[in-house]
Amino acid sequence: DLRIMALGDSITWGALSTTGNGWRGPLQKLLLQNGGTAGTTVDFIGSLTHGNMADSDTEGHSGAFLADILPHVHPAIEARPNIVTIHAGTNDMDKNRDVWTAIKRLEAIVRAVATGAPDATIFLARIIPANDKAMQPRSDVYNNQITTLSKTLSREGLKIFLVDMSDLLTWHDLSDRKHPNDRGYAKMAQKWNGAIVEASRQGLLTAP
């Protein structure tokens, strides 16, 4: 069984998707139909709801910076997810919000998740590209830092699975400078699904 907490900002919430489901709707379908997780149950958890899917729970906070996301971790983690997806930091990169220390704020989020749900597998994303010449160089640096952070935390024994979305989308897959359209969200769902199926194959998932 999969109990998934989708943690992040408006891209996790599903902004500018026609259904409001973002990538959560197509991911749920993929997990129920495909790969090593076929036949399992998929339960999204979170303090918010968004979209027209029956199980629309999410911990995606529209407009949130990394510092805004951290306080939401502890209350949400009490629902005991066994999967936590994290795609966060886009707004910090967009608004140039202390970008050189952004990775420390992301690390605080990841450590809070690992402390609150030590059995959960954390799927940590390198963030999607932006159609913005000022923002993208900041995202490139941040994504390289995410790779290093993932390796560091893995060596410490945290259950981290890096999901590289940094070159996943083109501008055709975006609704605006930074939010996916439905096609972009579908690509994100496929990437999350592949990572979750691979983690399951490797025996890295623990029952909730």
Answer yes or no: is 85 within a domain: yes
Look at residues 70, 61, 85 and name the one whose alpha carbon lies nearest to residue 11: 61
pLDDT band at 205 (very low <50, low <70, confident <90, very high): very high
- What is the reported pLDDT for 55? 96
Which tens digits make up the pLDDT trace of 150-192? 999 999 999 999 999 999 999 999 999 999 999 999 999 999 9
Which residue range forms the structural domain that includes residue 72?
7-180
Write the DSSP symbol of residue 99.
Answer: G
92-98-101-104 Cα dihedral, nearest 10 degrees: -40
Domains in the chain, number: 1
Per-residue 3-state assignment (H helix, E strand, C coil) for 121-185? EEEEEECCCCCCCCHHHHHHHHHHHHHHHHHHHHHCCCCEEEEECCCCCCHHHECCCCCECHHHH
pLDDT band at 33 (very low <50, low <70, confident <90, very high): confident
Answer yes or no: is 72 within a domain: yes
* Alpha-helix residue ranges (DSSP H) falling in 36-134: 66-77, 90-94, 102-116
Answer yes or no: is 196 within a domain: no
Answer yes or no: is 124 within a domain: yes
Comparing 12-21, 36-45, 94-103, 114-123, the range with the smallest average pLDDT is 36-45
Q: Measured in Å, how far apart are the chain's first and last C-alpha atoms?
A: 7
Answer yes or no: is 198 within a domain: no
- Are 72 and 66 contacting, i.e. CB atoms less than 8 angstroms apart? no
- The CA distance from 102 to 98, in Å, is 6
Average pLDDT, the chain: 95
CA 178, 28, 50 angle in degrees (round to 5)? 55
- What is the reported pLDDT for 40? 78
Answer yes or no: is 41 within a domain: yes
pLDDT band at 208 (very low <50, low <70, confident <90, very high): confident
Answer yes or no: is 145 within a domain: yes
Instruction: Specify the CATH number for the domain of residue 112.
Output: 3.40.50.1110
Answer yes or no: is 56 within a domain: yes
- Reduce the DSSP state of residue 8 to 3 states and report it: strand
